[in-house]
Structure 1
Amino acid sequence: MAAALFLQACKVTEDYKRPDFNMPSAYKLPDSLVTSSMDAIPSWKDYFKDSTLLNLLDSALTYNLDLKDAIKNIQITDQLYKQSKSLYAPDIDLNLLNVTREYRSHDYYSSPSSGWYDKRGKTAPKDLYLYQSHFANTVAVDWEIDIWGKIKREKEQAKSHYLETFEAKKAVQTALVADVADAYYNLIMLDEQLQVATRNYHLRSNTLKMVELQYQAAEVTALAVQQTKNQVLKAQALIPDLKKEIAVQENALKMLTGNISLNVGKRSALSEIPADSLYKEIPLYYVQNRPDVLAAEYDLMAANAAVGVAQASRLPNLSITFEGGMDAMLPKNWFNIPGSLLGDFFGGITQPVFHKRKLKTEYEVSKLERDQSEIAFQKAVYGGITEVRNALVAVRQLSEQLTIAKEQVAVSQKAVHSAALLFTAGEATYLEVITAQSNELDSELNLASLKAELMSARIQLYRALGGGWK
């Protein structure tokens, strides 16, 4: 009973408990589902099917600079965690060839070292006589007894930071996978828009030729030629602008992959991208498996352990020190055992009393920082849920928009065909023709943009669910 009471008294810090954010029951994050929930999130190699994209992702996960930096952070915290595992062990210092020679004069209160001068048959001088002479080799052992769990909390803190860096690296990887895929599909969108702009430019150029022929036949005015030519130049100007955007996007992809000489390779067409029906109903407890959420929780664990360290630092500290070795007046007597042996033993309890409020400040600040970490954890959970819901809404609404845009393109293409036939038959004006062509260009560009937006929304949903690190 006494031992149990003593152990309870020594436990001055609280173990970590996951906070309850008072979320609606539909959005609870039950621990029992942590393992099973991840089975539904495929790896990026299974989620993405495009071979070019998979090669880009392979390169990014090998050479990306942000990911390399995250790996270095893991290696740093790994060293700190290894060091924390040995905190229970004593500090051992080996002092070799420790030479001490002290000289004094006649006004000093003591006398010369008689052994030194007697052995040499000399008389000690009045001033600057040898007072002390030591030639020593010693081993010192200093051991702190962990009464209040301070070392235990330091180990917990180091371990939590170590695991946090693992999750931070996963978070960097999920963001990287999403960014590379997003950039790739944006590049495909620009390719398709360039094809649309080039095709529309040739169509308008043919229309200009017809209008010029009609002008030569005095069937239309010079204004018709000028307005038609203006539409041709408008379509032509779009081509170099899109080529510029393609080059910029390719450079961005090279930066993401960590290989500035990378050849992006042959790209798929947006029309070849299959529909994604993977996520129709999303259990929001998936959010707990997001790397950023887990990293925030590990940070909270570390902050909770830091409170324990700060609190234990204010309590009495029990330490034991032992020093032993050989000490002689002359080096030749080092191994004159037992005559040269020495030993010291110290043990004591130190209670901090007044340190200019430093210890109390550290303790109070650590509690506030723990509260901040809990807020950050809550923000990560709520932010993850919001991102999932927003991505779901985007996927559903963009799917509807895409259906409408496809119909709009079909109508615009029919309008261009009809306008060309009517213009040839003299039943439509040049204004109707160029209007139909302008509408077709806008609708096809919009369709390509919506396809890319829908793919981006799917990618963001995949990332929001924590996909991309496996």
Structure 2
Amino acid sequence: MIRRLPPTVLIASLFVAGCAVGPDYQRPEINLPESHRGASPENTKAPSLADSNWREVFTDPPLQSLIEEALSAGPDALLAAARLREAEALAGVSRAPLWPQGSISLNTSPTIRQPGERFTASYLGGAGISWEIDLWGRYRRASEAAKAELLASEEALHGMQASLVATVARYYFQLSTLHDTLTITERSARNQGEVLRLIKRLSAAGISSAAEERQQESALAATEASLPTLRRQIAETENALSLLLGRNPGAFRLDVPPKLALPGLIPPGLPSRLLEQRPDIRQAEARLMAANARVGEAKAMFFPSLSLTAIFGGVSTSLADVVHGRAPAVASIGPNLLQPLFAGGQIYFNREAAQARLDQAVINYRKTILNALGEVANGLVAYETSDALMETQARRVAASREAMRLADLRFRAGTTNFLEVLDTQRQLLAAETQEAQALLERRQALISIYLALGGGWQATGR
């Protein structure tokens, strides 16, 4: 016999079907400054550097090729993509309880055995349908949370892509600087070797002393001692870059030191743009949305659950009759209502834990924004000061080269001692090495500010 639901129950079910307990998400109020610290006033309203595709910022073709390889085949990129697929699957799982669930079952139960009777059992087989009506939005909130967590996974992928672009560029420029430093050191060693040969000739002629010869030998040995360290650092950087690309450790060919068109001023855009530009902020907000939905899911546990169940099949003491469809037919349909009364505080504390996680998500969201503002401010200062550093180092190199030339002429003319030559050699080597480091700092500062503004990941969606 099929039992019908009373009309009042159906009407009430339809009326509350659109209800969902718990707070709807609203973005927290954030007190953002009007402009970034260190930003140039004329660049405040200019389009942000982060709006530029990474190919427009890193224009060197070999570097672009390495970045593309890392984004497509690097282990970090593949791992993040796999995590995103997992999140997509879990979002699908969360939507399943919103739909009726069907199944086929075969059950057995013993029957009462009278004295002298054989042991018998009854069998029930058939198809069943169950559907828990989401009266209070418990499953809808769970689905909402899963969608937000999926969005967080997408933003984690974007953040990984931005970080990968920056890391490949850092290794690339670091490798270029190491090659430049190696070239400078080898050139200095050759020059010092020529001076040593001159000193030996002068010493053999009695013009120079053996002490000066030993001093130059010591200076040459000190310069040559740094060469193995530089070669080791080059190999380590190449290996790190290879692993980032998913390659076996190996060397990278750099025929020409890479050139990078460095902008004079960085347009950072408005601080409010960071909320949309930075993947980590977007990820933190997605997690906040998920935590907010979980609060509603936890609150729904306090209310009764209503489910509709139906079964159609046959029952008999003969398993063969049930299997072959000869058993008497049975059918049942009706509601099941469950109201939790006591669960040892589980429902209450589950809600309290969800609320605490929501509070943590709000704090983390605000903290992520503050960290972003700090990174942008630090990046702007680093980029500005690196420009002044490069100018100073360029003047220092020019002065050191001229001092070296004059000291060499004076020594050959016999108007100065050899200590002046040694001193100018050390100063020139230090100046040229630090000039290469200054260029690296300038490039690293550009990478840092570009990453701080949230750039780098948009290329995958274009």
In the superposition, the TM-score normalised over structure 2's length comes to 0.88
Structure 1 residue matching 2:98: 3-state secondary structure: coil
Alpha-carbon contact 1:311-1:363 (below 8 Å) kept: yes
Instruction: Report how many aligned residue pairs link the two structures.
Output: 436
Residue correspondence of structure 1 range 41-52 to structure 2 within 5 A:
41-52=51-62
How far the C-alpha of 1:131 sits from its partner, in A, is 4.1
How far the C-alpha of 1:263 sits from its partner, in A, is 5.1
Looking at structure 2, the residues matched to 339 and 8 of structure 1 have their Cα atoms a distance apart, in angstroms, of 39
- Cα pair distance change 1:419/1:224, threshold 3 Å: same
1:17 corresponds in structure 2 to: 26
Looking at structure 1, the residues matched to 33 and 166 of structure 2 have their Cα atoms a distance apart, in angstroms, of 30
How far the C-alpha of 1:303 sits from its partner, in A, is 0.4
- Cα pair distance change 1:40/1:131, threshold 3 Å: closer
- 2:178 maps to 1:190: yes
Question: After TM superposition, what 4+ stretches of structure 1 lie above 6 angstroms from structure 2?
Answer: 36-39, 335-339
> In structure 1, which of residues 220, 225, 248 is the aligned counterpart of residue 213 of structure 2?
225
1:157 corresponds in structure 2 to: 145
Structure 2 residue matching 1:130: 3-state secondary structure: coil
Alpha-carbon contact 1:56-1:264 (below 8 Å) kept: no
- 2:385 maps to 1:397: yes
2:260 corresponds in structure 1 to: 273
Residue identity opposite 2:53 in structure 1: S
Residue correspondence of structure 1 range 92-171 to structure 2 within 5 A:
92-96=102-106, 98-100=107-109, 102=111, 104=113, 106=115, 125=116, 129-134=118-123, 136-171=124-159
Deviations along 1:393-433, one digit per CA (max 9) or x if unpaired, are 10100001000100100000001111111110001211100
Residue identity opposite 1:276 in structure 2: P
Residue correspondence of structure 1 range 408-423 to structure 2 within 5 A:
408-423=396-411
Determine which structure has greater relative contact order: mean sequence separation of CA pairs < 8 Å that are 6+ residues apart, divided by chain length: 2
Residue identity opposite 1:451 in structure 2: L
> In structure 1, which of residues 304, 310, 316 is the aligned counterpart of residue 304 of structure 2?
316
In the superposition, the TM-score normalised over structure 1's length comes to 0.87
Looking at structure 2, the residues matched to 43 and 9 of structure 1 have their Cα atoms a distance apart, in angstroms, of 43
- 2:75 maps to 1:65: yes
Alpha-carbon contact 2:49-2:269 (below 8 Å) kept: no
How far the C-alpha of 1:204 sits from its partner, in A, is 0.9
Alpha-carbon contact 1:163-1:295 (below 8 Å) kept: yes
How far the C-alpha of 1:333 sits from its partner, in A, is 4.2
Looking at structure 1, the residues matched to 143 and 68 of structure 2 have their Cα atoms a distance apart, in angstroms, of 36
Looking at structure 2, the residues matched to 9 and 153 of structure 1 have their Cα atoms a distance apart, in angstroms, of 12
Residue correspondence of structure 1 range 317-396 to structure 2 within 5 A:
317-331=305-319, 333-334=321-322, 340-396=328-384
How far the C-alpha of 1:58 sits from its partner, in A, is 1.6
- Cα pair distance change 1:20/1:274, threshold 3 Å: same
How far the C-alpha of 1:337 sits from its partner, in A, is 8.1
Residue identity opposite 1:54 in structure 2: Q
Residue identity opposite 2:261 in structure 1: P
Residue correspondence of structure 1 range 76-91 to structure 2 within 5 A:
76-91=86-101
Alpha-carbon contact 2:155-2:279 (below 8 Å) kept: yes
Larger Rg: 1
- Cα pair distance change 1:323/1:359, threshold 3 Å: same
Residue identity opposite 1:330 in structure 2: S
How far the C-alpha of 1:261 sits from its partner, in A, is 5.2
1:439 corresponds in structure 2 to: 427
Residue correspondence of structure 1 range 243-282 to structure 2 within 5 A:
243-260=231-248, 264-269=252-257, 272-277=259-264, 279-282=266-269
How far the C-alpha of 1:40 sits from its partner, in A, is 5.8
How far the C-alpha of 1:335 sits from its partner, in A, is 8.9
Structure 2: gaps spanning 5 or more residues: 1-10, 37-45
Structure 1 residue matching 2:438: 3-state secondary structure: helix
How far the C-alpha of 1:321 sits from its partner, in A, is 1.5
Deviations along 1:182-204, one digit per CA (max 9) or x if unpaired, are 00000000010001000100111
Alpha-carbon contact 2:397-2:431 (below 8 Å) kept: yes
Structure 2 residue matching 1:274: 3-state secondary structure: coil
Residue identity opposite 1:21 in structure 2: I
How far the C-alpha of 1:66 sits from its partner, in A, is 1.7
1:429 corresponds in structure 2 to: 417
How far the C-alpha of 1:341 sits from its partner, in A, is 0.8
Alpha-carbon contact 1:211-1:430 (below 8 Å) kept: no
Residue identity opposite 1:82 in structure 2: G
2:6 corresponds in structure 1 to: none
Looking at structure 2, the residues matched to 395 and 143 of structure 1 have their Cα atoms a distance apart, in angstroms, of 61
Looking at structure 2, the residues matched to 205 and 385 of structure 1 have their Cα atoms a distance apart, in angstroms, of 52
